Structure 1
Amino acid sequence: MSSNGIRVATLDDIPVGEGIAIDKSTTGTEDDIALLRDDDGSVYALDDTCPHEIASLAEGWVEDGYVECPMHSSKFCLKSGEVQCLPATQNTRTHRVEVRDGQVFVFPNEAP
């Protein structure tokens, strides 16, 4: 992996308050990575699959530093991946992200 990260999207690809999934074949990770854009414009990367049940966090709702799973409404902290409410009981993995000149780079399996 490049020490500069892997370019996976442009900032414009990720609407504020939403997310997109980056395929694990691109990132070399066990799971796809959800790129999530908070309502302040910041971008975060978490494992895409909710640890409670098979659902894509990239399809969830992003607001106030959290993503809410679209299936059962578990919430996860965008910065730490910590689960905030049931039914999920496991945290999700976070990955370091950098935005440079409107390009989004992910550093898979590297803590933010």
Structure 2
Amino acid sequence: MALKFAAKLADLVEDEPLGVTIGEERIALYLLDGEVHATHNVCTHQFALLSDGYMEDGCIECPLHQGRFDIRTGAAQCAPVTQPIRVYGVQVEGGEVFVDL
């Protein structure tokens, strides 16, 4: 496990994605139903930051073409996206969020 610091838990707001960069990786963090989730922050359809998108019903909608991904699994939910996004393991300790890269 390669846990890397991503953000303070206090920086996360329910249903509002937060984009962070860890090394060279663009990561999107989500607080959903009190649990923290992390995905790759770039849409698999075309380059757009998912953290600029809209969260609803456990999915993140790409701001460019409105494709949706499941935040928990990374699965593509509707056209035009067909490829899933990467999901990362998350650990919260002492008010800090760590992502397993």
TM-score after normalising by structure 1: 0.81
- How far is 1:4 from its partner? 6.9
Answer 1 or 2: which has greater strand percent.
2
- In the alignment of these two chains, the number of paired residues is 101
Unaligned runs of 5+ in 2: none
1:85 to 71, 78, 83: 78
3-state SS of paired residue (1:23): strand
Unaligned runs of 5+ in 1: none
Higher RCO (C-alpha under 8 Å, 6+ residues apart): 2
3-state SS of paired residue (2:47): coil
Matches of 1:76 and 1:93, distance apart in 2: 10
Relative to structure 1, is the Cα distance of residues 41 and 62 closer, same or farther in structure 2, using a 3 angstrom cutoff? farther
Q: Tell me the percent identity.
A: 37
Matches of 1:24 and 1:102, distance apart in 2: 18
Q: Considering only aligned residues, what root-mean-square deviation do their CA atoms show, in Å?
A: 1.6
TM-score after normalising by structure 2: 0.88
Q: Give per-residue Cα distances to partners, 1:40-99, cap 9 Å, x unaligned.
A: 122111111001111101111223221111111111111110000001111111000112
